[in-house]
Amino acid sequence: MRVRKKPWAAPYIKSHPDLIVTDPETQLGHWQERFPSQQPIQVEIGIGKGQFIIEMARQNPEINFLGIEIQESVIATALRKLVESELPNVQLVETDGAFVDTLFAEGEIDKLYLNFSDPWPKKRHAKRRLTSPNFLIHYQKVLKGDGRIQFKTDNRGLFEYSLTSFNNFGMVFDEVWLDLHHSEGNVGNVQTEYEEKFSAKGPIYKLVAHFKEA
């Protein structure tokens, strides 16, 4: 989906280097230095307008959160929310989050969130799905041994593909929900903007999984 360019976005991002990173490769292995306290680091790839990650940080002050988004106009909106929130445990990253092992050192991340990623429905585009083996191998490198991946989607096809992909990769499922908003798993669920808008139209699928330790 094409995002309308916002003229104010670039200068606004440039004016807040304390809250947003635009050259993330330089931070590899040093992300803790972006925060006032050294705490577990959790990462969301594709934060949209930032509702999920900012609320997660508000509810979990003992965790440091990094939100990755490639769309300049979108992350600028998230940045504006972050400025207003004054939360010390959130940092934003303007980049493509696909190949996280170029952004993070081995074992630097405690948990990874994939919320309503692009389903890439055509079979020939399967390798572009963020839950494909092409990406799982990179997630495995940067997650700690007991690190988790949490995935949510409203796309049944993508969810079924992801279950198969995780299983074939040898991952262990901690929890699986086939209708999150009508189950006990919805207690304490932090929603994204997309989730709030589309959850009434059908079930939200969710899973939490981890890699088997070698």
Catalytic residue numbers read 118
Say whether 146 counts as a known binding-site residue: no
Is 154 marked as a binding-site residue?
Answer: yes
**Cα-based distances in Å from 148 to 11, 13, 84, 188:** 35, 30, 30, 18
Find out whether 102 is annotated in a ligand binding site.
no
CA dihedral 77, 80, 82, 84 (to 10 degrees): -140
Residue 96, annotated as binding a ligand: yes
Inter-helix orientation angle 156-168/133-142, to 10°? 60
- Give the contacts of 39 (CB within 8 A, at least 6 positions apart): 62, 63, 64, 89
Give dist(CA 167, CA 147) in Å, integer: 16
| CA angle 47–165–102, rounded 5-degree value | 50
The answer to the question of whether 205 is labelled as a binding residue is no
Q: Would the annotation count 118 as a binding residue?
A: yes
Residue 194 is labelled as binding a ligand: yes
Q: Which two tokens stand for residue 173?
A: 């499922």
Is 192 annotated as a binding-site member? Answer: yes
With contact defined as beta carbons under 8 Å apart, do 155 and 131 qualify? no
Q: Is 122 annotated for ligand binding?
A: yes
The response to whether 153 counts as a known ligand-binding position is: no
Indicate the annotated binding residues for substrate.
122, 154, 192-195
Indicate the annotated binding residues.
44, 69, 96, 118, 122, 154, 192-195
Indicate the annotated binding residues for S-adenosyl-L-methionine.
44, 69, 96, 118
